[in-house]
Structure 1
Amino acid sequence: MKLPENIAGFSKAQNDQDSTALANYFTEHATVSDEGSSYSGRQEIEGWIQEATEKYNMQLTPIDYIQTGSKAKLTLEVSGRFLGSPLVMKYHLELDASLICSLQITD
């Protein structure tokens, strides 16, 4: 599957466990909703990524990607150190040009 460059880079940064590179795919004032918590701004998002990476050692395998205008849904197989691994998860994205301004993660 061919992903847009920014989405492919986002997935690669996670798989490389590079929280700084991954955070740079978000706008300065982006928001993330995951596991009942919300994170705002690139710095807070980078902290969330770093903590989640250390806790779960996640690896992403894109399964499907659909984009309509500024909204996109990335379906992934997410594996790592967590119960039920691997899981199929959906990343609901809102994009501002090539950067993510909103991410909501659901299963």
Structure 2
Amino acid sequence: MAHPSLSLFRGSLSTLRSAGEDALNPETVVKLPAPLQTYFDADKAAGTAAPTSAFAPHAVVRDEGRTHVGPDAIAAWWRAAKAQYGHTAEPCEIRQERGLTIVRASVTGRFPGSPALLTFAFRLEDGKIAALEIGA
């Protein structure tokens, strides 16, 4: 049976992409909710542990076609992605849409097409990240 938080993802990014493709200004200061600020601060800090404190205990992350559920799986995903890509993400736009907090970020790292503009779709619950989907 699918995890309840996965219902967030059904058609989310493909629908959301078409809704806000305005040009992004990297000079814009983006004010993020606290758990998202924790996530992106940890992303920028070299050698930082996964920001599992920003995630709810039942949180779900979808990235690169894989699903990671719970703090141990999310920490393993974080470490593996950092080791493989050595990436950092700089938020450049934030908006609320259909109960999600959508952050567009410029992601730079060791991957073809770097830097790339990616979409981070967060669902927050009780001040924590309950779900995150990362895509183009």
TM-score, length of structure 2 as denominator length: 0.72
The offset of 1:43, in angstroms, is 0.8
Aligned to 2:87: 58
2:54 alignment partner AA: Y
Where does residue 19 of structure 1 map in the other structure?
A: 49
Instruction: Determine the structure 2 residue equivalent to 1:36.
Output: 65
Q: Which has the larger radius of gyration?
A: 2
C-alpha distance after superposition, 1:75-106 (max 9, x if no partner): 10000000100000001111012210111111
Answer whether contact 2:35 2:55 (CA < 8 A) is retained. Answer: no
Instruction: Give the number of aligned pairs.
Output: 106
Would you identify which runs of 4 or more consecutive aligned residues in structure 1 move more than 4 Å? Answer: none
- Does the residue aligned with 2:42 lie in a helix, a strand or coil? helix
Structure-2 separation of matches of 1:79 and 1:98: 28
Distance of 1:68 and 1:106 partners within structure 2? 16
Question: Sequence identity, in percent?
Answer: 27
Q: CA 1:57–1:98 in structure 2 vs 1: closer, same or farther (change >3 Å)?
A: same
Q: Which runs of 5+ in 1 are unaligned?
A: none
5+ residue gaps, structure 2, are 1-28
Q: What TM-score comes out, normalization by structure 1 length?
A: 0.91
RMSD: 1.5
Distance in 2 separating the partners of 1:51 and 1:96: 26
